[in-house]
Chain A
Amino acid sequence: MTKPAIQTKQLGKKYGSFWALENCTISIPEGSVSALVGPNGAGKSTLLKLLAGLSKSTTGESTILGSTPEQREDFLADIGYLAQEIPLYKSMTANDHIAMGKHLNKRWDEIYIRKRLGDLGIDLTKAVGKLSGGQRAQVALALALAKKPKLLLLDEPVAALDPLARHDFLSSLTQAVAEGNLTVIMSSHLLADLERVSDHVIVLAAGKTQLCDDIETVLSRHKLLVGSRQLQQTFGTTLHVIHEVHTAKQSTLLVRLDKDIKVPKGWQQHEPNIEEIILAYMGQAKEGGTK
């Protein structure tokens, strides 16, 4: 977990006059599973497309597995990508898709994909357009995994699935991660799901990176402070407040404790969960955006 699989610096993407992604600087260690979260339009899909080499960045640079993302066969061989709408050739069967994968990839694990889809009980001779949403997602995931990629990029793969299919999909993903040395970035709105499978979190909001770290570190560096309203004025700029809620008598602050900064006296300390922290960062970006 020393060498980063992905490193981006000030990555930005502009569509027309609109910045879909700005100043995105992230570093993802090899073998990690990262949750990419953020509100709609935060640039999650844009970032994943940039990392997959499907689109070109307007500003900044990125290094993925030691090279720049582009339409080059040896780069693409290392990337597994699953787009949001789970695109498949609807009139073709799963068998056809397997044959496509075999024809278009030098590295291709035919035994693996056949076993996987067989275990899931998916009819390989049926047009994929006639399969259920969950089965289609499984076919698409299996196709991406059969390439034996080093980096798997998943764009809201479970968004359209029912809870059971979502559970199965995430189990498949966890299993695949356990089996091989695979780095995963997966975007989703479902924070609980992400928490189950990921060890790393990236929060994108208002087109910028708000947070990018492993979950353990994030948890240890954030505290929820509860105290009277007067206390709030005492520490000025010593604490990095991410989110604050005030009632007439009481203030609740979510703060980031960088380095050796200590919490001033008088505050009650609580451990926030990752969901609270993520929501706090998304909320902060929203306030920043409206100001």
Chain B
Amino acid sequence: MNWFVWRQHRKQFLSLGLVLIAFAAFIIPSGVHFWHTYQQALSTCAQNPNTPNCSDLEGNLLTSGGDALIMRGAVLGALALPLVVALFIGSPLLASEYAEGTSKLVWTQSISRRKWLSVKLAWALSFALLYGVAVALLVSWWSRTINALHQFRLGQGHFETQGFMPAAYALFFTAFAIAISAWFRKTLVALAVTFGVFVLCVIGFGQWVRPHYATPITVTTAMGPNAIEAKLPTGAWVLKKDIIDAHGNVHSNFSVTDMPKECQALTQDIQVPAGSRAAKVKASGGDPVDDCLNSAGWHQVATYQPSYRYWDFQRIEAGIYLGLAIAAVGATYWLVLRNDA
């Protein structure tokens, strides 16, 4: 049976292998180049801190058009490759057998349907997992420069492309595509549904699920420019920033008309009466409007996930996908063994 699965699917396995090699050939040189550039900048800045750009490496290093393009390409590839495996290995695995009627040929050889399915699933899922691991290792290695520069591995677009996630995606979506193809028995339907669910999951988990893996940390500060940013640790994944008035009302889309009347008046660039509180604030370099809001009981609140939770979150989300993959495999067995040819 192993020989047969290999014979049947070797073209898919080999061409996907070529795609992976092409991807590696694309990101390995840029990975080396980025790291080299970063290390060089670090040593230059250590010797001579006054070199231009040293104050803000994050904002200035690797921001040229070519580098940005490579970064986008690598992130896109890291997201797309696990999906491609799912689409091209998972979708046709059973659907093509049903559509061509070859299920009836192979199920009347002297091999039980369960064994046939088990060997096929073992090949497809092992291949998908290995493929995902290869992508994960490549992109995690490649991302070290960006991670060092930005320290923002929790952010969307970073979290999904490194750590366990590429492997988790490859495994789950392949299992999912197989289950869908066992249900609908059509490759195209499995392709379309898998693609749709992938997009939904990748965006949906980042938006609505991942923020809740651990209770976010909340910080409260007075009103003022950069007041809240100063309180957020490096690499924090900020979930929400709100301005809250004295009555506890949240002003997410804050505008001048939300303010108390007396503060609104101060936003007009008019002369403040000499000797007033506003004048004193202005004299000491402060913002009379912020001061007015603070004394009216307004404040800012931010919630965030700290970057040290990165690996915990990776483990939790990969675990969820592993559980879903197991469910998909169970559904596949149920569908294939229970239903008629």
Contacts and interface: CB of A to CB of B under 8 A. Distances in A.
28 contacts: A52-B104, A54-B107, A54-B340, A55-B341, A71-B112, A72-B112, A73-B111, A76-B107, A76-B112, A77-B110, A80-B108, A81-B104, A83-B105, A85-B101, A87-B104, A89-B8, A90-B100, A100-B4, A100-B106, A100-B109, A101-B109, A103-B4, A104-B111, A106-B110, A140-B105, A143-B105, A147-B109, A147-B110
Given A55-B340, A87-B101, A88-B102, A103 B1 contact: yes
B4 A104 contact: yes
B114 interface: yes
Contacts of A52: 104, 108
A249 B107 CA distance: 58
Q: Which 7 A-B pairs have the closest CB atoms?
A: A55-B340, A87-B101, A104-B109, A54-B341, A77-B110, A81-B108, A83-B104
A53 B111 CA distance: 12
Interface string A141-162: 0011001000000000000000
A99 B110 contact: no
A99 to B, nearest CB: 7
- From B8, B105, B108, B337, residue with most partner A Cβ within 10 Å: B108
A197 interface: no
Contacts of B337: 71
Main secondary structure of the interface of B (DSSP, over half): helix
Interface in A58-94: 71-74, 76-77, 79-81, 83, 85, 87-90, 92
Contacts of B208: none
Contact of A89 (B102, B108, B109): B102
Interface in A102-117: 103-107
A56 interface: yes
B113 interface: yes
A4 to B, nearest CB: 21
- From A80, A104, A107, residue with most partner B Cβ within 10 Å: A104
- From A87, A105, A143, residue with most partner B Cβ within 10 Å: A87
A73 B111 CA distance: 5
Given A56-B340, A77-B110, A99-B3, 6 more contacts: A55-B340, A76-B109, A89-B102, A103-B4, A106-B110, A107-B110
A30 interface: no
Interface residues of B, number: 24
B7 interface: yes
- From B105, B112, B340, residue with most partner A Cβ within 10 Å: B105
Contacts of B107: 53-54, 71, 76
Interface string B61-84: 000000000000000000000000
Interface string A266-283: 000000000000000000
Nearest to A15: B340
A49 interface: yes
A21 B232 CA distance: 72
A147 B107 CA distance: 13
B22 to A, nearest CB: 24
A73 B340 contact: no
Contacts of B102: 87-89
A104 B100 contact: no
A144 B225 CA distance: 81
A220 to B, nearest CB: 36
Nearest to B11: A91
A88 B110 contact: no
Contacts of A56: 340
A76 B105 contact: no
Nearest to B111: A104
Contacts of B115: 73
B104 A73 contact: no
A96 interface: yes
Contacts of B109: 76, 100-101, 104-105, 147
Interface string A163-187: 0000000000000000000000000
A71 B3 contact: no
B105 A88 contact: yes
Contacts of A101: 109
Interface in B145-185: none
B111 to A, nearest CB: 5
Interface string A117-136: 00000000000000000000
Given A49-B340, A99-B3, A54 B108 contact: yes
A232 to B, nearest CB: 46
A83 B101 contact: yes
Interface in B1-19: 1, 3-4, 7-8
A79 B109 CA distance: 8
